[in-house]
Structure 1
Amino acid sequence: MTTTTNGAGDIGGADRPVTAGPAPLAAPAVPPCSRTRAAVGRLLIRRALDRLPLQVRMGPEGTLGRGGPAMAVYDPAAFERRIAAEGLIGFGESYLAGEWDARDPVAVLTVLAGHVTALVPAPLQRLRGLWAARRPAADHNTPDGSRTNVRRHYDLSNELFAQFLDPTMTYSSAVFSALPAGPDQLAAAQHRKIDMLLDLAAVGPGTRLLEIGTGWGELAIRAARRGARVVTLTLSREQRELALVRVAAAGLTDLVEVRLCDYREAEGSYDAIVSVEMIEAVGAEYWPEYFATLDRLLAPGGRVALQAITMPHERMLATRDTYTWIHKYIFPGGMLPSVRVVEETARRHTGLRVIRCEGYGAHYAQTLRLWRERFAERADRVAALGFDETFRRMWTFYLAYCEAGFASGYLDVHQFLLTSRTGAAEGAGSR
């Protein structure tokens, strides 16, 4: 595919072929479920919903809940059967199928995220391993598996992402000067985030910088404008293609090299390493290798700046083997670490130490809100790219689902500074 730009991050070109969307995404069929499981599921679902601060209209059967954000279930039998069979995967698939809806899905999902540990009775939570779906072996983040997983999401279409991202084409949490924020503030907030990471890594003239996870190249461009020499790695062919165009448009091809390369295959020695929301795609079993790679590639006295989506440690342990709706439809192979995991993995497997850690979860909720609103505003453009109604409902649910996670505090996002053990004293007490 040939890609041109009309200014910073704007994808287009009147004579350029538009990337075709995926094949039509059929609404998922209602899964099989035994009569006993369906009956028990119906009882548990209705009891859980009736105790939540929601207004849940169950078709013509009446309303459940204690008042709050409203959701309407148009097909209670299918809704309950899906959840009984597949848990929260079924809940998300029911939305894709149009069996329930809400005027404010984020508000509904925020309530559910805030009460997630109480939705399933404690005895069933202890038996999670017996009823929760397991991750497919094909999703594991081997070198080949990682390429497949990345391409399933990031190679959908650069034009798709351009419909809801700001002109910087930055697909990670921004950091705003104040909250709440408006859409005209997003690009500046993304630059603020990037500058915070580059400052954390002490990137300046002559810095040899490695970026793991290119995105569409904005961080690499901004680092090169500081005078750094940048090597940036990606597994997405679509992202690499557009990043190369954007780097060339910025006149920085002599300072930025964009490689199609797995982090495990990287070579060289770098004064600074930056990686933004890429560790989530590594997989828990590969976290030691990921941090060992950072340690191997970092020059003496160097600094590593990471931005990572995190979840509470105990919740991470409870769900680390669970196959979720997000895995099935959005990020195959994904796994969120906790702050504790980042610190302990670095300490146990490398000479690196976390010396700073700052959280910005409320800023991610705002970032996702702005993306979701823009995605809704441009639904017709997304459709024109070939993405059908089921796909658009899927991505609406995905963006709302994530926004609710940050709004409820179930998820957070942190920036970490790591240095070698000998350099850790410099940042002692700054956390």
Structure 2
Amino acid sequence: MTTAGPRPAARHRADDRRTAPADAGHWPDVAAVPRASWPVRAITTSVVERALRRLPLRVRFTDRAALGLGGPLMEVRDPKAFYARIGTRGLIGFGESYMAREWDAPDLVGALAVLAAHAADLVPPRLQRLRSLWARPQPHAQRNTPNGSRTNISRHYDLSNDLFAVFLDETLSYSSAMFRGFPADWTLLAAAQQRKVDRLLDLAEVRGGTRLLEIGTGWGELALRAAARGAHVTSLTLSKEQRELALERVRRAGYADRVSIELCDYREARGTYDAVVSVEMIEAVGAEFWPVYFRTLDERLAPGGRVALQAITMPHERMLATRDTHTWIQKYVFPGGLIPSTQAIEETAHEHTSLTAARRDGFGAHYAETLRLWRERFTERADDVAALGFDETFRRLWTFYLAYSEAGFRSGYLDVQQYLLTKEDPPR
């Protein structure tokens, strides 16, 4: 799973963080409510309130009657600012309004899950057809060219290793775990992460002597467990912070002779490998470069080899409708990111490679539990986040991001897959 927003330098005392206004220097689009003309406000109010009346939500305003059919509570504290942001910036404005404390929800995941479940019909069909007129396109600067990818990845993963350590378990795994059952608790997370890694290594048939290419290092857990099997691992990352800590973990484990971690774009990979594993990396590739990504998997894989791929997915129709739209997640969390559909993955692999999708297993409910544990840990350790120099606006941003993601999986809007892709031996 990148925060595009800046890291504020100011540190606030724990008892001040809930009331401190957004720093205009670091968060200009949160600190200032955008100007919206009367027609924009009127149309936005009409469209949004019509949608809210039909949802299993209870939306309470300070200046008008509550809306909704009942369910999780949303409290809109500043309706004028709330509608001005949505009217001028759409869903980006909706997220910024939360960051600015203009609305809140006691059960944030529950409220967002309702919205996620109805994402396809929140906007009337006639306005959906005019999406290109009102939805902002993705910034050209966030294209995932080799240089662009380095910048995009750095803006998230180079925030601070200490920040991620606040809410991740000791394996430092930042992707979906696999639990034995629900509900899960924090003490089970590390084992569930290792179970996920081991299943991927099993899919790729990684064993002693296997030459393994990992695209997307994370903080090194998969490389460590592959090396423990006797594999020789080449792992690629664009994050300097991740590479530094992953190398330290490799040295401590005594696997420096088996694991090489390179600061390298996947397009620059060389050599041939018996297996390739890539965990939740495709979401940072961008649709424009999906064919290049899959061709890289194909070209680096020896005949008879296997690719194990873990990917977050979304419905194909929603992916097509939103793929060119600039989103709140892209602006503040994952610049240049795009979640594919299973159809897009399978069609791209089929059309651009000799790889065959031999198996696919979805486990979205496991990601919802993983995100819940991260979110609860992040909230419990808010003072530790503040001590690292991250202000209250940043904390609300990340609370919203983790809750927004969890809601996507709980509603079924998002899923996560483990793929096995195979490459047949050439005929003799």
Under a length normalisation based on structure 1, what TM-score does the superposition of the two structures give? 0.92
Which of these residues, 339, 347, 350, is aligned with residue 336 of structure 1? Answer: 339
Which of these residues, 221, 242, 255, is aligned with residue 252 of structure 1? Answer: 255
Partners of 1:421 and 1:270 in 2: how far apart?
A: 14
Moved more, 44-53 or 170-179: 44-53
What letter corresponds to residue 39 of structure 1 in structure 2? A
Q: Answer yes or no: is the 8 Å Cα contact 1:28–1:96 preserved in 2.
A: no
Matches within 5 A, 1:88-167: 88-167=91-170
Partners of 1:43 and 1:422 in 2: how far apart?
A: 61
Where 1:357 maps in the other structure, the secondary structure is strand
Moved more, 131-140 or 54-63: 54-63
State the identity %.
Answer: 67
Change (3 A) 1:422 1:37: farther
Which of these residues, 219, 222, 226, is aligned with residue 225 of structure 2? Answer: 222
Where 1:133 maps in the other structure, the secondary structure is coil
Per-residue deviation, 1:421: 4.6
What letter corresponds to residue 284 of structure 2 in structure 1? A
**Residue 313 of structure 2 corresponds to residue 327 of structure 1:** no
State the partner residue of 1:8. Answer: none
Moved more, 393-402 or 176-185: 176-185
Where 2:56 maps in the other structure, the secondary structure is coil
Per-residue deviation, 1:290: 0.4
Per-residue deviation, 1:21: 5.1
State the partner residue of 1:35. Answer: 38
Q: Answer yes or no: is the 8 Å Cα contact 2:219–2:242 preserved in 1.
A: yes
What letter corresponds to residue 94 of structure 2 in structure 1? F
Matches within 5 A, 1:284-323: 284-323=287-326
Where 1:230 maps in the other structure, the secondary structure is strand
Partners of 1:208 and 1:118 in 2: how far apart?
A: 48
Partners of 1:269 and 1:297 in 2: how far apart?
A: 5
Partners of 2:418 and 2:33 in 1: how far apart?
A: 41
Per-residue deviation, 1:87: 1.1
State the partner residue of 1:4. Answer: none
Aligned length, in residue pairs: 405
Partners of 1:274 and 1:206 in 2: how far apart?
A: 16
What letter corresponds to residue 262 of structure 2 in structure 1? R
Change (3 A) 1:70 1:354: same
Per-residue deviation, 1:400: 0.2
Partners of 1:156 and 1:23 in 2: how far apart?
A: 12
Alpha-carbon deviations, 1:287-342, whole Å to 9, x = none?
00000011110011110000000011111111111110000000000011111111
State the partner residue of 2:179. Answer: 176
Q: Answer yes or no: is the 8 Å Cα contact 2:303–2:424 preserved in 1.
A: no
State the partner residue of 1:23. Answer: 9
Partners of 1:32 and 1:278 in 2: how far apart?
A: 38
Partners of 1:327 and 1:199 in 2: how far apart?
A: 33
Q: Answer yes or no: is the 8 Å Cα contact 2:304–2:424 preserved in 1.
A: no
Alpha-carbon deviations, 1:323-377, whole Å to 9, x = none?
1000000000001111111111111111011000000100000000000000000
Per-residue deviation, 1:93: 0.3
Which of these residues, 68, 72, 79, is aligned with residue 75 of structure 2? Answer: 72
**Residue 382 of structure 2 corresponds to residue 382 of structure 1:** no
Partners of 1:183 and 1:127 in 2: how far apart?
A: 45
State the partner residue of 1:231. Answer: 234
State the partner residue of 2:399. Answer: 396
**Residue 421 of structure 2 corresponds to residue 418 of structure 1:** yes
State the partner residue of 2:281. Answer: 278
What letter corresponds to residue 400 of structure 1 in structure 2? A
Question: How big is the alpha-carbon RMSD for the aligned residues of Structure 1 and Structure 2?
Answer: 1.3
Change (3 A) 1:78 1:228: same
State the partner residue of 1:196. Answer: 199
State the partner residue of 1:409. Answer: 412
Q: Answer yes or no: is the 8 Å Cα contact 1:21–1:385 preserved in 2.
A: no
Per-residue deviation, 1:31: 1.9
Partners of 1:403 and 1:213 in 2: how far apart?
A: 22
Q: Answer yes or no: is the 8 Å Cα contact 1:205–1:226 preserved in 2.
A: yes
Partners of 1:421 and 1:107 in 2: how far apart?
A: 46
**Residue 41 of structure 2 corresponds to residue 55 of structure 1:** no
Alpha-carbon deviations, 1:137-192, whole Å to 9, x = none?
00000000000000000000000000000000000000001122111110000000
Partners of 2:192 and 2:403 in 1: how far apart?
A: 20
Alpha-carbon deviations, 1:176-217, whole Å to 9, x = none?
011221111100000000000000000000000000000000
Where 2:209 maps in the other structure, the secondary structure is coil
Q: Answer yes or no: is the 8 Å Cα contact 1:28–1:93 preserved in 2.
A: no
Per-residue deviation, 1:34: 2.5
Under a length normalisation based on structure 2, what TM-score does the superposition of the two structures give? 0.93
Partners of 2:184 and 2:329 in 1: how far apart?
A: 26
**Residue 227 of structure 2 corresponds to residue 206 of structure 1:** no
What letter corresponds to residue 9 of structure 2 in structure 1? A
Partners of 1:111 and 1:306 in 2: how far apart?
A: 30
Partners of 1:349 and 1:32 in 2: how far apart?
A: 47
Partners of 1:349 and 1:67 in 2: how far apart?
A: 48
What letter corresponds to residue 108 of structure 1 in structure 2? A
Q: Answer yes or no: is the 8 Å Cα contact 1:149–1:331 preserved in 2.
A: yes
